[in-house]
A and B are shown apart, each in its own frame.
Chain A
């Protein structure tokens, strides 16, 4: 069930009403209902893959309890291995099997060995990259003694499968989300109102901005060999906003839906295109995944504790893996490595930006130097997006070569009025409201104005609601 679909527009209010009106008095029934609703939500795509979620949940629930009951380091390692094997095994099989086989065949062919691989048509279960990471972090945190395992199976299964964030995150940690399933929840008007606004803003970003940009992106990337450099530049520019609005829009709807149910999810995007360097970009882009890789890959690899050379290697390994997480293809790995390499200069300088607030926090506009850094960071991410969006490495290289020609300075082909106007509107709203959690937090405005904005956004969503388009991150 897609967030930008009529079934979800019926499903969410129905869940909301039953959840608060029928089951408010019983936490256990509320959790059971959430579990059933989440499984229904997932089964809407393909009920057969529910078994994978149940398996992943069951393994980590059991491993968690067994870890807590055991002091034997060897047994604990074995239990952790079981969880890693089950979760990463499923991920490897469903997501990476074809990639590994084709890479092996290519490598063998390079040294003159011709293999005849058996090809399997494996369907990628929606959301597998997200829920396996979520349930894996639970076991890893118990193993490290950071959290205690839960004995409440319903809460745990509901935590793993919680429908707002089941298929595309945010990837939650057990320490923050699981306790919310274990304590009574009360309806909060302010939270619910903010949740509804966030859903509205998320749908606007997805349906209006992302899908409009997406149409241009598809045309430009499909015909990249025949278009001018300036058109190709606009193509990747649109893709930057397509993927941002698509994924952050999904996250907004997820966070908003959870708020309606009295549950708080972590923010997943925080104005990434206003970042002043690439490290900051990664503190603001797909925050739940970045922090997951930081905590469970980068730091265990040694982080910055073993000298500059090791730190550079750790950064590259972490970003390479992050790229591979996004897709079983070498262009995703290159995308990740590009982002890793962007950070090498600051790693070598050892410079850390102490200011974690968004640009121009205390001024209306950024200072010239700050603006230059924002634009440079955006340009670097833009270049990397080519590798993310292209069909394969070869396409990405051809696209890049086609872009950096004399025609880069000519007039672009096609009409770009609507998508550029939408992007300008989006950036303006985000800039003006950059100190708020989202642009629709404008309680100081008169009610009439606020409601006019809600109404205008809703009408825009309905007007742009055309052919159904999946969220990009579902494929990861």
Chain B
């Protein structure tokens, strides 16, 4: 019996080692096609940028690097590294590894979207995107953050289960090994993420016009807003309520510590980082983010989400869909972001 168990243990160890070797053979961003496309472009083009704009579609679709650079008086030469559906904690996982990558060697400034913790929806559980970035540290961070901010026990338990499952799937490469090998040995990723200026920005309207066949979901979201334009006013009202009622906020010390670590690591690499609260955030996200924002302070964080201070970002003429600005709104948002960035530096 001992002999059999010993052989099983040795085989299991060999198998796990082989799986970990495969993990080492792919870059850290392999599971995020949009991010991988942008990273491949940065590496292959040799283009050097001193400013990176990092976040989800709220950065990708709303911060135009050419406008930003013009507004900063060419202080910056920026690239939009935002990618749709790239949330916390994935964004922190990517950013902290990016700091170790050559791509960030010339970077002086980073503007990163401040995000609440992604709960991993049931429909997304078990997908590559929900698995590839959940290492032990990310899993611990998510579980700890959820324990602090998620008041609904069933939702908390489900989200924690999803993170733990994702961690095990990542460790044993379950449901992702084939995609990892395809990434490693297949053709490079290609998506519509670089935008017409090859600076990583692609306005929603423009993509919907240029590639309607590949933009059906985007077009559907736009149609949804046109059917019920009052949804923006509702979101605006709910956001304002959250600003007015700090008792509804839920603070995560774990999240704050993670951001502080990101600041420290960035500084160690000579990078100034600012966290950005973009407009149109749902109330549930704001409840988690405002206490963090307050503790980070105006030196490190830029708030453009307050509808009382920035009603223009909730105007229909600046909207593409419920959660995003259109080209015009994005331009206004980018200019204001640049101005607030300069102000935070004392320029």
Binding site for B on A (CB under 8 A): 6, 20, 187, 189, 192-193, 196, 451, 454-455, 458-459, 462-466
Name the residue in B15, B173, B177 with the highest tally of chain A Cβ atoms < 10 Å from its Cβ: B177
Q: Cβ of B175 < 8 Å from any Cβ of A?
A: yes
Task: Pick 29 A–B contacts, CB within 8 A, sort by A.
Answer: A6-B174, A20-B1, A187-B1, A187-B4, A189-B1, A189-B3, A189-B4, A192-B4, A193-B4, A193-B7, A196-B8, A451-B11, A454-B11, A455-B18, A458-B15, A459-B15, A459-B18, A459-B177, A462-B19, A462-B172, A462-B173, A463-B178, A463-B181, A464-B178, A465-B174, A465-B175, A465-B177, A466-B175, A466-B178
Q: Which 3 pairs, one residue from A and one from B, show the smallest C-beta to C-beta distance?
A: A463-B177, A463-B178, A462-B177
10 A-B pairs besides A192-B4, A193-B7 with CB distance below 8 A are A189-B3, A189-B4, A193-B4, A455-B15, A458-B15, A459-B15, A462-B19, A462-B173, A465-B177, A466-B178
B336 → chain A closest CB, angstroms: 45
Q: Considering only CB atoms, which chain B residue lies closest to A191 in the complex? A: B4
Contacts of A464 in B (CB 8 A): 178
Contacts of B1 in A (CB 8 A): 20, 187, 189
Contacts of A454 in B (CB 8 A): 11
Name the residue in B4, B22, B181 with the highest tally of chain A Cβ atoms < 10 Å from its Cβ: B4
Cα distance A193–B15 when bound, in Å? 17
Cα distance A440–B186 when bound, in Å? 31
Q: Considering only CB atoms, which chain B residue lies closest to A195 in the complex? A: B4
Q: Cβ of B14 < 8 Å from any Cβ of A?
A: yes
Contacts of B181 in A (CB 8 A): 463
Q: Is the CB of A462 within 8 A of B11?
A: no
Binding site for A on B (CB under 8 A): 1, 3-4, 7-8, 11, 14-15, 18-19, 22, 172-175, 177-178, 181
Contacts of A451 in B (CB 8 A): 11, 14
Cα distance A458–B178 when bound, in Å? 13
Contacts of B11 in A (CB 8 A): 451, 454-455
Cα distance A187–B175 when bound, in Å? 34
Cα distance A465–B180 when bound, in Å? 13
B126 → chain A closest CB, angstroms: 9
A13 → chain B closest CB, angstroms: 8
Contacts of A20 in B (CB 8 A): 1
Contacts of A6 in B (CB 8 A): 174
Q: Considering only CB atoms, which chain A residue lies closest to B10 in the complex? A: A451
Contacts of B22 in A (CB 8 A): 459
Contacts of B18 in A (CB 8 A): 455, 459
Q: Considering only CB atoms, which chain B residue lies closest to A190 in the complex? A: B4
Q: Is the CB of A455 within 8 A of B14?
A: yes
Cα distance A458–B14 when bound, in Å? 11
Cα distance A459–B1 when bound, in Å? 26
Cα distance A466–B7 when bound, in Å? 27
Contacts of A196 in B (CB 8 A): 8
Contacts of B175 in A (CB 8 A): 465-466
Cα distance A164–B137 when bound, in Å? 38
B183 → chain A closest CB, angstroms: 12
Q: Considering only CB atoms, which chain A residue lies closest to B177 in the complex? A: A463
Contacts of A462 in B (CB 8 A): 19, 172-174, 177
B44 → chain A closest CB, angstroms: 28
Contacts of A458 in B (CB 8 A): 15
Contacts of A193 in B (CB 8 A): 4, 7
A247 → chain B closest CB, angstroms: 24
Q: Considering only CB atoms, which chain A residue lies closest to B175 in the complex? A: A466
A200 → chain B closest CB, angstroms: 10
Cα distance A464–B176 when bound, in Å? 9
Q: Considering only CB atoms, which chain A residue lies closest to B1 in the complex? A: A187
Name the residue in B3, B11, B19 with the highest tally of chain A Cβ atoms < 10 Å from its Cβ: B11
Q: Considering only CB atoms, which chain A residue lies closest to B172 in the complex? A: A462
Contacts of B173 in A (CB 8 A): 462
A189 → chain B closest CB, angstroms: 5
A148 → chain B closest CB, angstroms: 33
Cα distance A35–B330 when bound, in Å? 65
Q: Considering only CB atoms, which chain A residue lies closest to B7 in the complex? A: A193
Cα distance A67–B327 when bound, in Å? 85
Contacts of A455 in B (CB 8 A): 11, 14-15, 18
Q: Considering only CB atoms, which chain B residue lies closest to A20 in the complex? A: B1
Name the residue in B1, B7, B172, B181 with the highest tally of chain A Cβ atoms < 10 Å from its Cβ: B1
Q: Considering only CB atoms, which chain A residue lies closest to B15 in the complex? A: A458
Cα distance A463–B11 when bound, in Å? 17
Contacts of B4 in A (CB 8 A): 187, 189, 192-193
Q: Considering only CB atoms, which chain B residue lies closest to A459 in the complex? A: B18
A41 → chain B closest CB, angstroms: 21
Q: Considering only CB atoms, which chain A residue lies closest to B3 in the complex? A: A189
Contacts of B15 in A (CB 8 A): 455, 458-459
A8 → chain B closest CB, angstroms: 13
Q: Considering only CB atoms, which chain B residue lies closest to A24 in the complex? A: B1
Cα distance A458–B173 when bound, in Å? 12
B161 → chain A closest CB, angstroms: 13
Q: Considering only CB atoms, which chain B residue lies closest to A192 in the complex? A: B4
B341 → chain A closest CB, angstroms: 44
Cα distance A369–B3 when bound, in Å? 48
Q: Considering only CB atoms, which chain A residue lies closest to B5 in the complex? A: A17
Contacts of A187 in B (CB 8 A): 1, 4
Cα distance A189–B1 when bound, in Å? 7
A210 → chain B closest CB, angstroms: 16
B162 → chain A closest CB, angstroms: 14
Cα distance A193–B1 when bound, in Å? 10
Contacts of B174 in A (CB 8 A): 6, 462, 465
Cα distance A133–B341 when bound, in Å? 76
Contacts of B19 in A (CB 8 A): 459, 462
B83 → chain A closest CB, angstroms: 24
Cα distance A55–B1 when bound, in Å? 37
Cα distance A298–B310 when bound, in Å? 85
Cα distance A41–B8 when bound, in Å? 23
Name the residue in A196, A458, A459, A462 with the highest tally of chain B Cβ atoms < 10 Å from its Cβ: A462
B228 → chain A closest CB, angstroms: 35
B178 → chain A closest CB, angstroms: 4
Cα distance A189–B3 when bound, in Å? 8
Cα distance A122–B175 when bound, in Å? 34
A80 → chain B closest CB, angstroms: 44
Q: Considering only CB atoms, which chain B residue lies closest to A193 in the complex? A: B4
Q: Considering only CB atoms, which chain A residue lies closest to B180 in the complex? A: A463
Contacts of A459 in B (CB 8 A): 15, 18-19, 22, 177
Cα distance A238–B57 when bound, in Å? 43
Contacts of B14 in A (CB 8 A): 451, 455
Cα distance A462–B177 when bound, in Å? 7
Cα distance A423–B14 when bound, in Å? 27
A261 → chain B closest CB, angstroms: 13
Cα distance A322–B172 when bound, in Å? 42
B5 → chain A closest CB, angstroms: 9
B261 → chain A closest CB, angstroms: 33
Cα distance A189–B6 when bound, in Å? 12
Cα distance A459–B178 when bound, in Å? 9
Cα distance A451–B8 when bound, in Å? 11
B177 → chain A closest CB, angstroms: 4
B298 → chain A closest CB, angstroms: 48
A22 → chain B closest CB, angstroms: 13
Cα distance A462–B174 when bound, in Å? 6
Cα distance A187–B1 when bound, in Å? 7
